[in-house]
Structure 1
């Protein structure tokens, strides 16, 4: 027994024995350096705090419902991460969601197949994003000004076309509606749609020339222009992409609720910006974290659901959401600073 213990101690103190420990430490440091680590930890803590008051909130069914509802804002936040990486903003994404969902519902009422209507939602979103891109790129308007105008324009058009009333989409018994009500591994279709969006956009941003151009323009526009990157063309494409994400969010909303509300998506633009920033996408451009942007939508939905879950006055919603944003961003910044301080130069 003593001889075996001695041998084990020799192995544990050898360079080979230290490799697993060093590997774990390196993995932990790499995790702390990720942009989405702060929001991930903050979300877990927030869920546990809410669950400490009522354990039923921690049930898988309740948590999956939160994820499913956060997915729509998560899709918009992924698009916002692309825009922030280029030092741009799109304040109209919530209105694009509402108008594209309405277009799909009106087409369904006109007899179009629901799945074709869903494709029409995406096409409508792309068209609206193209309008934003033309205003910003060709007319040289600041994106915050142009999209602030289209926010009101698109929302007003939505109210006019719907006459201020909800427009029914596919019937609940239709396979289209049943698909969006179906769950895979206990998670709703909105969640899986967000997972696909995150995977595609994350790979595109990191591993394609298009993503490289976006990051280069955001890092140094003058250097990007000098290197021959078509800044105006890339900017136009990103605004169209944001419109497509708004159209996808509109299709998800229409499929999940089975109705297009003229107020759908109202205020989502600020939530999308907050989610992207919480997830580690800086406002100064040059970098984006698509995964973090999607995760950033979760604590916002946790706050909203918790207030309704415990029947707390809805007037506390904005205050609590702001507090969560400050805590999540501050915690993520602290983690990055500590990780950078420990990283050898």
Structure 2
């Protein structure tokens, strides 16, 4: 990679770890809901209102709650993807890690393990699978996108092999694990509340901790980050382990909600998570990310998927329509970014 002026660290990387532009929690909240996050939030609300104007049933609180529930798993994955994109990395195996963690924990529960212990084991397994991805990248010196493309098939194959291609059933659904994480609190699905907690924690990590600063510094200029003493290998390992752990967490939330393990679950989640992160305002060029925006991007995709049902669009066309929405959203975002950069450049002259 050449070290030209275009690779110089941008202003979206904080000057020091722990620094916040607004000062205190208020500044963190303002930055969490930046321009990109606000844009996707407005787009989501407008889309809901448009669908609701044509099909009022879509505005039923129970329907909106289901839409939000369905977005949780991709939203958790998208939060991890935002970290990776911020440092110019990508993990294509997140959907397979989600599925393998879910299957393994379901099998442990079926075999008599305490569901809480099995759930923790599933999250740990996800982090270890992320570590395996990182080890492959480091040992063979290949891009993460290539390594995780291979492990995508490996992890998916393990899910099918371990479950013998059958659903894992016979779980203790009356256990507190399923009743709590598969239930509601104050009328809100617990998984949605977990998503909110994850958003707060990861935004704090990304914006105020040395790890988050290093992630953004590497994405902004890898050569400069390495020159300043940041270990690219160490941060890459930590980021991929975080991604794996989040995939494991999403798998446990899915297991609690569905109450069984499907070896095909999570297929295609990796592409949806990447799309959600980009739609939410995390640029592919690295150096910046928005966890909240990535999660809102997942909600937007869930609204699109659910809205298509109300328009009686055949299932064979649903993937086409979802892809078109992603392309339009990313195209508009790219256009707006170029205009902002052009205005900024003109103002600097």
Query: How far has the Cα of 1:309 moved from its partner?
Result: 3.9
Name 1:86's counterpart in structure 2: 87
Indicate the residue corresponding to 1:133 in structure 2.
134
Query: Matched residue of 1:138: which SS?
Result: helix
**Residues 90-136 of structure 1: CA distance to partner in whole angstroms, max 9, x if unpaired?**
00000000000011011101111111111011011011000001011
Cα distance between partner residues in 1 of 2:170 and 2:138:
35
Q: Partner of 2:19 in structure 1?
A: none
2:110–2:172 contact (8 Å) kept in structure 1: no
Determine whether 1:267 maps to 2:268: yes
Specify the alignment match of 1:145 in structure 2.
146
Q: Is the 1:169–1:260 contact (alpha carbons within 8 Å) kept by the matching residues of 2?
A: no
Distance 1:296 1:136 in 2: 28
2:217 paired residue number: 216
User: What corresponds to 1:8 in structure 2?
Assistant: none
1:238 is matched with 239
Cα distance in 1, alignment partners of residues 207 and 280 from structure 2: 16
Q: Does the CA-based 8 Å contact 2:182-2:191 persist in structure 1?
A: no
The alpha carbon displacement at 1:139 in A equals 2.0
Give, in angstroms, the shift of residue 194 of structure 1. Answer: 1.1
Give the TM-score, by structure 1 length.
0.87
Stretches of structure 2 that go unaligned for 5 or more consecutive residues are: 1-29
- Partner SS for 1:36: helix
Asked whether the 8 Å contact 2:32–2:292 carries over to 1, the reply is no
- Aligned partner of 2:318 in structure 1 is 317
Contact 1:198 1:291 in 2 (8 A): yes
Q: Which runs of 4+ in 1 moved over 4 A?
A: 29-33, 333-340, 342-345
Match status 1:77 vs 2:78: yes
Identify if the C-alpha distance between structure 1 residues 280 and 130 changes in structure 2 by more than 3 Å, giving closer, same or farther. same
Using the size of structure 2 for normalisation, the TM-score is 0.86
Aligned to 2:294: 293
In 2, Cα distance between equivalents of 1:71 and 1:91: 19
Q: What do residues 29-83 of structure 1 show as CA deviations (whole Å, max 9, x unaligned)?
A: 9999622122112111211121122111112111111111101000000000000
Q: Aligned residue for 1:168?
A: 169
Separation in 2 of the partners of 1:107 and 1:77?
A: 27
Residues 121-166 of structure 1: CA deviation (Å, up to 9, x unaligned): 1011011000001011232111111000000000001100000000
Q: Which of these two proteins has the greater Rg computed from alpha carbons?
A: 1
**Aligned CA-pair RMSD:** 2.1
Deviates more, 1:45-54 or 1:239-248: 45-54
Query: Is the 1:72–1:252 contact (alpha carbons within 8 Å) kept by the matching residues of 2?
Result: yes
Count of residues in Structure 1 that have an aligned counterpart in Structure 2: 317
